[in-house]
Structure 1
Amino acid sequence: NACHQGNYTNTPNTCAGCHLSDYNTSINPNHVALGIPNDCAMCHTTNPDWDPATFPIHNNYWVLSGAHAAIANDCAACHNGNYINTPNTCVGCHLAEYNSANNPDHNAAGFPTDCLACHSVNGWMPATFDHDNQYFPIYSGKHDGEWNQCAECHTTPGNFGLFSCIDCHEHDNPAELANMHEDVSGYQYNSQACFACHPDGED
């Protein structure tokens, strides 16, 4: 009677035929809102309480590739039992890694929280960094080939948000620089002033 209720004619022969109300009232996750197919057997077995469940169409919502492939079967690693409002941005899950990064210090340097700007889904390393377009041209223009270590300009250890324009051999003579800028009103011999007038590193 649980299924037939005394009527053995036209008894449903699909999962959803009997369990559509369970599908419609599911909230964690909300099957209807996410557009999950109502083919129950795709994720569930005939075990009671719908557990355990898999989610073979996860890549339709968030692709588990690269380093994420290793946790493809560990739902709790991201969801912790709650499938509602799971972050769908890199930093939504990796803000702790961003905040604790110290080589370089992402917060101090003011790096964007768009992880994919420098990293790939394969791992944190190797990473790329478009210093020229995001901050200051050092791989092109007059500064290309003029430096070997980041510390030559970023002279405060661990803080890439600070920089020096006046410690390299071409700019370390205040008197010479003053003569070169004698026609510049308000000229100052400090790094912030240098950058304010020469944001692209050119004359």
Structure 2
Amino acid sequence: HWLAASELAARYPSVRVDADVLYVDGGQVLTSAGAAAGLDLCLHLVRRDHGAQVAASAARMAVMPLERAGGQAQFIVHEAPVDDGGSLEPILRWMDERSASALTLEALARRAGASVRTFSRRFRAQTGTTPLQWLLQARVRRAQRLLESTAWSVDTIAARAGFGSTGALRLHFRRIVGTPANAYRRAFRAA
């Protein structure tokens, strides 16, 4: 499973592990990032061995998109930390609910009742990223949900997700998700 990729790499240092793809077709060896990615790999094999029409028919029968490219990054997974008394879970939930708003580091620290420096240090320790990077990922998650569930234009989604421009959404979406926003939408509409 892709969540155990770092452990796999540590146990087998001679194996090249790429945790940022859905599946790998290495000829003799094929691997997938998890159960759903295994279905993507199966469709890839059907398409490779029997053609696009057969693969499209299989995808429709399975009620899944025909293609999420093997190189597409895993969809963003966000797990709030366990509340241990010093947890940032309340501020993370608050940030997620307001991710479309213009939030500054100073405002986030104030909301958390800490100095900017203390907040930033605690935030990185608990989440592994900076507050503003986490906020950017929350905006991309919001854009993903809107692309999946609405027919709104990418311009409208950019505004509703908290991006200053459509260009900013396109840039960050592709960097974080690994596929363009329109291709992501098509993958969900194809089924």
TM-score tier, shorter chain, comes to under 0.3
Larger relative helix fraction = 2
Identify the structure with bigger relative contact order (alpha carbons < 8 Å, sequence gap 6+).
2
TM-score normalised by the chain length of structure 1: 0.24
Q: TM-score, normalised by structure 2?
A: 0.25
